[in-house]
Amino acid sequence: MAEKKTPNPIDIHVGSRVRLRRTMQGMSQEKLGDALGITFQQIQKYEKGTNRIGASRMQQISSALDVPVAFFFEDAPADVINNATGMHETSATTYVVDFLSSPEGIQLNRAFVRITSPAIRRRVIEMVRTLADEVGVPEGENTDGQPPIT
């Protein structure tokens, strides 16, 4: 019986960054697929890391999402880039990317970037920290047990 192949950690990271940027742009998988001449199912596979994205396709995706190719590799933990662990990425980066790709994360980001005052932005961050402390999540810990990103 053939062993089920697990996605490469860097493919998972790159796919999560494609999903993050696509959702930040308010673009559906279908719309991105149409722009690239592929199905939305293929976009799903790219975003999950189950299918690798070739160099020419990566360039097309970066153009469609209006970011440099390097964006998709940003924040990749060194062990993922160096493939030192050989396991799925389980870092705090994944936790943050998952949140940022959620409906709440997208709404929060879109609202936050419209705030132009640095002082008000700092106050919003402090308010969120205070609220998190009140519901019992100590600073420096995430609800999933992952270390914080500093």
pLDDT in tens, 12-56: 999 999 999 998 888 999 999 999 999 999 999 999 999 999 999
Query: C-alpha dihedral over 127, 141, 47, 114, to 10 degrees?
Result: 10
| Residue 1, in any domain of the structure | no
* pLDDT given for residue 98 in this prediction: 73
Report if residue 19 sits inside a domain: yes
Domain range enclosing 67? 9-89
Confidence at residue 41, expressed as pLDDT on a 0 to 100 scale? 97
pTM: 0.60
Q: 117 and 84: one domain? A: no
Q: How many domains would you assign to the chain?
A: 2
pLDDT digits (tens, 9 = 90+) for 97-120: 677 778 888 888 888 888 999 999
> Do residues 61 and 30 both lie within one domain?
yes
Give the separation between CA 67 and CA 73, rounded to whole angstroms. Answer: 12
